[in-house]
A and B are shown apart, each in its own frame.
Chain A
């Protein structure tokens, strides 16, 4: 469980985020949605300790994020920011292997190697594992980074806009992978998504944010309501029943 208590963050006196109070349950996929500047990424980065909060407390699996050792946190929680990675000339396998760092400190054991292979296969990167990252397409590279993060085998996985810069096919593929990681590997995944319909299709829960506050948090059916979404995005949004569940039309 991820618990936020009265978490606040202020940027340059103008933008205020919080107080955020939320309990994100274990297992499944939780999506953070909301307009730009709503504080989705800020909240995610604070949970992932990439950004310091000004006030409040964040606990992940009963571990205080602000007080625990970084290496201990790295065994229960990991975070990946949206793709703006500098392109290093590492092979896919080397990159994914760094996911084992919190355990092996770089001395990969046989078990580590097996785990690395597992995640490379899981993300369909088997044929690419010895290719350098700068020889891959953006989508393949993104998959390699997500594979690295999952290879860390943490219970909690935070992803900031993992669908950024992916075309529809790659985006669907990525969400399918995440869905499988949640269902088959039992991970708790929190993602920032821009597309409400992706969130509705693949999440278990949605947290909608607006103006630095949590506007609503609930199951997909609870959030996919025309009045609520219209209010959050300040645009008329209708909900229709599609073949895979509820669809937002705007």
Chain B
């Protein structure tokens, strides 16, 4: 194949950290290459280093980047700029921050065409064409809008249109779908696949998830600690990985384990070990007793005030976040409440903890009716339910050591005498952290460790129910399994009930006994996990399952 890009011994430092370590690879014309790695692997740094777009704190130590017989690292700035946008384009990760907030979509689209010898009218027409090409509805009107008036998916379409408008030879995409919901991710990946076919441009697609690149790329490189650990065709890497790290990573990706298991493989497990069998719900779930939690006909509405009070004619926007939601959880059971951002699932969780006031409906926790509870009733309820919040480190108090904060629920509930250091160490140990962590602060922890500390705190009051809001959000694939294993294990040992709130279908299969699917504030489908995955009734459920499942490409090179 005709070589388009040749990278030799590229090395990048961030201060004392060697982020990319003397990496070499080549890319053919029209080839699609995926670079996969976990956070901190240096994959994005490598991508942005190719055309010298790194932040000032980074320095390229050595290397050559040959693009069509020119070394991009040594090209004079104006010649490099002439290539950017025309022959080499970027799509960056976060659609919320990748467009300038103060300029309209049209202004920014037309700025990309600033070098072309066209009239303003023609540039405008080309920009509208490009927006139409990426299937953005009503492109002429979108041209006049500002980025904040578009949804995340629409903005990412605009970014893609901008990147491909001038027919580049090379497209560099830095996690372009990571910030999007699963079903949107599928749409954007399909779009990229179509555009790649139509333009024939070469693509380097950086992602933290092996499955995502498989759908788009021919070839994949696996990065770890700034080095390339594996480089091969998608089919080869996925079926016969040569590197041990790749093999372990593939094995412990919950999305790639189809058979439900209560104990997912982890990075520490030897690749040969077999997954443990399912411990069925039969013994664990006490369905015959009255449910731990029963929510019925719950409504939550948010009011977003206009600038004038309603009394003098100001418009008050009502957002119906939750509409007529009912479900129950038995003792020892895990119910997964799934849905995408804005589906109202977090509002349900927050109403159970009294952080959001429902407009109607009842929430029964054991014998207590929470919507009618007084202060004392709520306080007692909060001793029986614990909540784990999305952001592992961000949900811990930044200026308190772990030992101080994991026992804090006891102090709040008037059991100060029990809030000892020994108790803190006991709780941390229960969550898989040893006593060395007792004196650490949240910013000294990795994502997985912070998540474990959050679980330790959630266990302090020996709750009957844990509400886990996106327990795997922000965690690398290799750590997700560990967290799910821990929750499953604790459930079996302590007889906990768990309300698992997530958009990650891959973990639901291995953790939940039953599933409730939320769409636009309503539950559209409920059922046992196995049945939901095998035969989803609602179209939306089917799409969610499909989105989580990244098929291997069928065009295996013989």
Is chain B a partner of chain A in the same complex?
Answer: no
